[in-house]
Chain A
Amino acid sequence: MCLAIPGKIVEIYERDGTLMSKVDFGGVQQEVCLATTPEAQVGQYVIVHAGFALNLLSAEEAEETLRLLDELDNFNSNDDNSGVAE
């Protein structure tokens, strides 16, 4: 139920006083309501659930998992080095 899918906004417009958009999901375009993300701009990525954009996706924060993996790699190689030193 709480499934939400990332997509890219390609068009923003208003319908009957509500902010709407066309969002591209890897080639398939769907209408998505932007009432909960009025700050969204064309070209940005949103995560979409039940026809609504829950939030904008942060490109910088998407790197966070890689940073953590890098940290673990470094931590482990230090670990291994200290093991060798002993």
Chain B
Amino acid sequence: MPTLTAPSTALAVPLSAPASRGYWTSVWLRFTRDPVAMGAAVVILVLIGFALFGSWIAPADAYQSSMLKRLKPIGTEGFPLGTDELGRDMLSRLIVGARLSLFIGITPVLCAFVLGTLIGLAAGYAGGLVNTLTMRVIDVFFAFPSVLLAIALSGTLGAGVVNSLISLTIVFIPQIARVAESVTTQVRGRDYVEAARASGASAFTIVRVHVLGNVLGPIFVYATSLIAVSMILASGLSFLGLGVKPPEPEWGLMLNTLRTAIYVQPWVAALPGAMIFITAISFNLLSDGLRSAMDNKA
């Protein structure tokens, strides 16, 4: 039995529109004209380079300790940034440390981005009771300050990289899901979604074709703004002894093991934290730049 067929997409031939730049092209152009954001992007690329090729870039072995060369000051011959409490080259450890530090900082946001978006999309698109229930559960997680929740979870799960990744992911899922839910609810009421539904598209198709493309941008921008927080928290967990275990180089853990040295070599001891600081600033500036380039107020 013939029903109303969906208007064929062939009808949607561009009506001789003047050749205008696409949305993403203009975002990219605006982004590249923002010197601060570009600077931040360069710093992040360098850090990612350290993370990927650190062991080749580093001038010395990051694990090679020496009892004779412990806690040398910055500028020592052969150790441009001094040595740590076990006589390991600080410069090499800072470079190689980028790998684990970035990994434990970015992974939770990525995982939470995927899971939180799914939850938020489902809740926002379903509406009604499903939405209410999901959002009430999310409200419960919002009742914990994020530092407290992260530490409570990884504290009970026990120390370790995997456990700290799990706890941070759980911390960020509700935050991303809340943003995803609110943008999905907005998009759901738009006419083109109504039109797609009226033309018989399945819920899955509507979400995939009409909703996803419109909500991913804002959620992505929000997620990038969480990376700085995640970096600080993940390294903070290591700093407390709940994350990465020695002798792996990771900035938070290095800060922890060097804490006892602040009266001997204060500036060497402060270096790993400066790396976390630089990374967090760069991600925050990048996220700000991205936000204004996408002209996104969410």
Does B associate with A? no
A residues sitting closer than 8 Å to B (CB atoms) are none
B residues sitting closer than 8 Å to A (CB atoms) are none
